Amino acid sequence: MPGEFKIIERLRKAARRPSGALVLGIGDDCAAFKTAPGFETLATSDMLIEGVHFRVSQGLGAVGYKSMAVNISDILACGGKPLYALVAVGLPEKGAMRAALSLYSGLRKCADKFGVEIIGGDTVRSEKLVISITALGEVASGKAVTRGGARPGDYILVSGELGNGAAALKKNLAWLPPLRPELSQALCGRGLVNSMIDVSDGLSGELYHLCEESNTGALIYEELVPLSKAALKLSGGNRRMALPAAFFGGEDYELLLSVPAKFLGTALKLGRKKSKLTVIGRMLPARQGVKVYGGGKAKVLQRGGYDAFL
């Protein structure tokens, strides 16, 4: 079976040509289209399926919260403000009401925290629990940040710490990402960021996405990657053993972004005010590939991370 990203790329090529109102189509964290003068609407959709993306034993309230958070994270990854959500759920017949109420308690908790209004959706019977959310947001015209704007020489930064998602999964827990709307909107509103993506499938996979869409290479320094206390604890405090959780574990939903050198100081200053923001490397010309430096040498960064089809 082909991997998830090969399937997405085939669908991208098969999709109809974008209309005049469409600003951003298949291939990024959100679609964007013009609505009100001066603004563009951002739209994103994520589906989570029992046994593929979560386990019921993780707690349905937590699963509901996470389901909403992953969609909000996509809006933030484009520099937008999340506004509305449509929620569709497939529920097994046994215990359907109890499951629905538990899920929605988590969904509403996350939505309320980030100012999102649930405006509709659908409920059907399903063999497994399925949650599909479409989130809508807005961004000022021309201000949406994509995956394709990075340039060689840009600094690569990440928010927060990595490895929390993988550590939670090891304990059969659903990681509830902090999300950082103030940081995203401050950085993007001032034009300091030229590419951005949320770390849903691991630092390695997301970095490759940025490089491919921007036609760049990259160099990451292992010692600069901010590791979570949870990831370090699982590795017995051994930093090198904890790195795979950051590079390949996924589920962190932090922001990975590129910043031109002239804006680095301002971006870091904002990061100190809004949340932790760490420089972890620089963008390179595409011919130099994607590399990681550690142990005194640079080597090709293994491409990896979560893939629903592998």
Assigned fold of 155-300 = Phosphoribosyl-aminoimidazole Synthetase; Chain A, domain 2 (3.90.650)
Please state, in angstroms and rounded to a whole number, the distance separating the CA atoms of residues 78 and 65.
21
pLDDT band at 310; cut points 50, 70, 90 = very low
Q: How confident is the model at residue 90 (pLDDT cuts 50, 70, 90)?
A: very high
Predicted pLDDT at 30: 76
Average pLDDT value over all residues in the chain:
90
- The pair phi, psi for residue 180, each rounded to 5°, is -140, 70
Which pLDDT value is given to residue 187? Answer: 95
Q: Which of 142, 148, 118, 115 is nearest to 27 (CA)?
A: 148
Q: Is 109:82 a contact under the CB 8 Å cutoff?
A: no
- Domain residue spans in the chain? 4-140, 155-300
What local confidence, expressed as pLDDT, does residue 37 receive? 79
pTM: 0.88
Is residue 309 very low, low, confident or very high in pLDDT (cuts 50, 70, 90)? very low
pLDDT value of position 294: 95
- Would you tell me how many other CB atoms lie within 10 Å of the CB of residue 232? 18
- Token duo for residue 128: 């497994």
- Residue 276's pLDDT band (boundaries 50, 70, 90)? confident
Predicted pLDDT at 208 = 97
- Note the pLDDT of residue 3: 59
- Residue type for position 162: L
Please give the share of the chain, as a percent, with pLDDT higher than 90: 73
Instruction: Give the CATH fold of the 4-140 domain.
Output: 60s Ribosomal Protein L30; Chain: A; (3.30.1330)
Confidence of residue 19 (pLDDT cuts 50, 70, 90): low
First to last CA, the chain: 8
Residue 307: its pLDDT value, please?
A: 58
In this structure, which amino acid lies at residue 98?
R
Q: What is the DSSP letter of 262?
A: G
Mean pLDDT of 76-86: 94
- Check if 4-140 and 155-300 are the same fold: no
For residue 60, give every residue at least 6 positions away whose Cβ sits within 8 Å of its Cβ, in sequence order, or none. Answer: 99, 102, 103, 106, 129
Q: Is the pLDDT of residue 15 over 80?
A: no
Phi, psi of 122 (to 5 degrees): -160, 155
Q: How far apart are CA 198 and CA 220, in angstroms?
A: 17
pLDDT tens digits for range 138-166: 999 989 999 999 999 999 999 999 999 99
How would you classify the pairing of strands 290-294 and 216-221?
parallel
| pLDDT (average), residues 164-183 | 94
Q: Which residue has the higher pLDDT, 108 or 310?
A: 108
